[in-house]
Amino acid sequence: MTSRASSKASAAAKPKGIQLITEHPFGSGGLVARMYRMPNQLRVLLLSDSSAPVFAYQTWFRVGSRHEIAGKTGIAHLFEHLMFNETENLKHGEFDRLIELQGGNTNAATWVDWTYYQDDLPKSELAMIVRLEADRMAHLVVKREQVETERGVVMSERRLRVEDDVDGFMSEELYRLAFDKGHPYHAPTIGWMRDIKRLGLRDAVAFYRTYYAPNNALIVVVGDIDETETLRLIGEHYGAIEPQEIPPEPAVPAQAQTTERRALFHKPVTTDKLLMGYKAPGFTDIDHVRLDFLNELLLGGHSSSIYRDLVVEKEICTAISGSVTPFRSPGLWEIGASLQRGHQAEEALALFDGHIARVQRDGVSQAEVDRTRARLLTEFYSGMRTVHGKAAQLGEYETTAGDFRLLFAVPDNLRAITPADLRDIARRFFVSDRRTVLIARPTVTNRKGKRSSAAQEPADA
């Protein structure tokens, strides 16, 4: 059993020493986002929005798979599961039950740079959720049988999503090959199976006592709230939780890739699958916005040039899409495609390379840029229509980028992009010597019905 706050945590009537760190207008409707910091270094980001009688309550911890050490991969994700178990004040299952009884919902996610917990509730339940979330930050009960149970759940999840799923397998292999051992993005967030099997009670307790601390957390509350009352409740329930010493993040080693990396796997698929990744800039780099823009122009939807050519006109692929990883450190521009019967991945790759060469040589048109900009601006604003969407955007920018105010620069950054910017991005980042290419090919059987294994399956580390 573990606990890091005294039972007097709720004795304070109002927070003492809380500081307003910064504030920023949220859109043109008079909303203002305000960042506060408590004496124990807990950061609180509030946005009062009375457009509907609901609120989103999110807790972001600056810990993800990039913070794990060799041999302990998967601990961040495993602990996300453990956070829904019992506390010193609540039985197992009670947390979810109380939220559901009030018409709310709760969920969580673990990523490379962060772990976050989300609650969406009617405005009347603010006091309840502050009490529940503070309770599990400080008074979670961690026992051996709980760790073993959740470890079994995670192992089953890994089998389902990675080992028995070709897309999951290829995604994991892409990062394993693109980033060398020792890089924080080499290992998968779910963890290597052999590490998950070894994770135990001592690992879980140490992880909790280290990273689930107020000085490593951000609380985001958006919705129909009274800021003064919200701060009072947070101070009352979180104020006595003591900060912890957070280990320095592992250094990101230099990864100077100078040759293309390729792998071929025979898998139980009906047609070829292609997955590749080009090294891409980090989340706060202006080039990240530009590369994301070019990805949308080339691959974002049925009207984009590469999709229209490979899927609609030539019918080489049944689907093709891309995305730029929103990682704090430089990540990947990922492109994935599924081939039509009778076609191989190399055909799609050659056509794709032809499109990239034309962009590098001739650039893109102003009309293409204008259409793409309109789509991305619509997507940006649509993502913040709800209080949940607003909270998620604020939380991600504060946690990943280090400053929630950078969120508000996104529209201007999109409006500033020119065709010349995109040709420059294509020339600098679309370099075949700096990409990783994976192909999954249908398993071949001989006359005796045995599978061939022309490509060796790699180890999980």
**Domain ranges across the chain:** 19-238, 261-442
| 405 exposure class (CB count in 10 Å sphere: 0-12, 13-18, 19+) | middle
CA angle 362, 364, 365 (to 5 degrees): 115
Dist. CA 336–CA 345, nearest whole Å? 10
pLDDT score at 13: 42
pLDDT at 461: 53
What local confidence, expressed as pLDDT, does residue 118 receive? 98
CA distance 141 to 129: 18
Instruction: Report helix, strand or coil for 22.
Output: strand
Answer CATH for 261-442 from 3.10.290.10, 3.30.70.1150, 3.30.499.10, 3.30.830.10: 3.30.830.10
> Angle, nearest 10°, between helix axes 286-299 and 419-429?
100
Nearest by Cα to 335 from 171, 165, 113, 162: 171
Position 253 scores a pLDDT of 82
Report the sign of the C-alpha dihedral through residues 385, 390, 393, 394, in that order.
Answer: positive
- Please give the pLDDT value at position 389: 97
DSSP E strand boundaries for 314-404:
317-324, 332-339
The CATH architecture to which 19-238 belongs is 2-Layer Sandwich (3.30)
Quote the strand ranges of 256-325, DSSP E. Answer: 261-267, 273-279, 317-324
d(C-alpha 300, C-alpha 200), whole Å: 43
For the four alpha carbons of 24, 380, 334 and 170, in that order, the dihedral sign comes to positive
Nearest-angstrom CA–CA distance, 67 and 84: 22
User: Which positions ≥6 away from 8 have C-beta within 8 Å?
Assistant: 240
* 19-238 against 261-442: fold identical: yes
pLDDT in tens for each of the 461 residues of the chain?
454 543 333 333 446 789 999 999 998 788 999 999 999 999 999 999 999 999 999 999 999 999 999 999 999 999 999 999 999 999 999 999 999 999 999 999 999 999 999 999 999 999 999 999 999 999 999 999 999 999 999 999 999 999 999 999 999 999 999 999 989 999 999 999 999 999 999 999 999 999 999 999 999 999 999 999 999 999 999 999 999 999 998 888 876 789 999 999 999 999 999 999 999 999 999 999 999 999 999 999 888 999 999 999 999 999 999 999 999 999 999 999 999 999 999 999 999 999 999 999 999 999 999 999 999 999 999 999 999 999 999 999 999 999 999 999 999 999 999 999 999 999 999 999 999 999 999 987 655 555 544 444 445 55
Q: Look up the pTM and report it.
A: 0.92
